[in-house]
Amino acid sequence: MRRHGVALLLVLLSGCSVLSGCSAEAQPDPAPAPVTSAAPSGDLQALGVRALEQLGHTVGDKTEGMVFGPVDGGTEAFSYTLGTEQEPYPAGRYELRAVCLGPGNVQVSWDGGDLLVGCGAGVVASEVPLGTPGVLRLEIKGDDAARGHAGAAVVVTDPRMMAVRNAFPAWAADGGSAVMGGEVVADVNQREDIGRLPAAGDYELVVSCIAPSPPITVTMVPAGGVTAPKVECAQPQNGAVGPRTTIFKLPHRAAGTFEIHLSVPYGPMIAKYALRRI
């Protein structure tokens, strides 16, 4: 079960097994926290929760790599580590998004880059590259106006989704030639996508998923002879997923409305899909 708590600066939700759904709170590196005149901690925590909601998440989400809470009144930056040597984050280009509410600014730093987050300025984002499987280390620091008076949230791409992306064929990974496609990392039982086949011809649908997502039932409308197959979800290994994707061949399809339905008996669903004409 996911546990939640409040650190001196922010609360970090990251898995003790980042690709398995088993999670625990990572702890910030120790840092002095001088007493300053600050807003009540409950008010600041509420600001952190609101900032998280502006990033499209809630406290109960099962997404990995969420940081949120009050900006502490101390003068030192706080360091957070996403992933471990035993359960590294997969290599890839992660998107980091951040929001701060209240006065001042917050700076988010990582190896090779940083992002200045203006409190009240909305969502800001940056790319965080990770060349090989490993950990992502973040430092978060508020300025004089923000410390003890603001709340913030930071979210990076879920590492399990990054592993699924890495397993996808190149055409499906970049989405350039896909006519339909999407990703889902949520505690849901189904995903429905309604689009169009732009022209008559042969198509293929690629689907991949990762544990702890259960096997996914894939339904297409019109079915065209394909009867609700199941996609087995890969198990992560050392921050990577082997090239396990399921490809459905869809010959002689007519142009027109096309539906893709993904369903699981229970959540979470962690999956990616893409459809193209071949």
Measured at the CA of 218, the angle between CA 216 and CA 224, to 5 degrees, comes to 165
Q: What does the pLDDT look like over 138-167, one tens digit per residue?
A: 999 999 999 999 999 999 999 888 888 888
Mean pLDDT of 108-117: 94
More confidently predicted of 99 and 164: 99
More confidently predicted of 77 and 42: 77
Total count of residues recorded for the chain: 278
Contact (Cβ atoms closer than 8 angstroms) between residue 163 and residue 183: no
pLDDT of amino acid 59: 86
Amino acid found at 50: R
Dihedral of CA 120/123/126/127: which sign?
positive
How far is residue 242's CA from residue 153's CA, in Å, rounded to a whole number?
32
Q: Was domain 11-157 assigned CATH 2.60.120.380? A: yes
Amino acid found at 173: A
pLDDT of amino acid 175: 61
pLDDT band for position 39 (cuts 50, 70, 90): low
Backbone angles phi, psi at 50, to 5 degrees: -65, -40
Q: Where are the beta strands (DSSP E) in 131-200?
A: 136-142, 151-156, 180-186, 190-197
Q: What does the pLDDT look like over 159-209, one tens digit per residue?
A: 888 888 888 888 876 666 899 999 998 888 999 999 999 999 999 999 999
pLDDT of amino acid 262: 95
Residue 274's nearest CA partner among 122, 171, 123 is: 171
In CATH, what number does 163-277 get? 2.60.120
Domain 11-157 and domain 163-277, same fold? Reply is yes
User: What percent of the chain has a predicted confidence (pLDDT) above 70?
Assistant: 79
Annotated domain spans of the chain:
11-157, 163-277
Amino acid found at 98: A
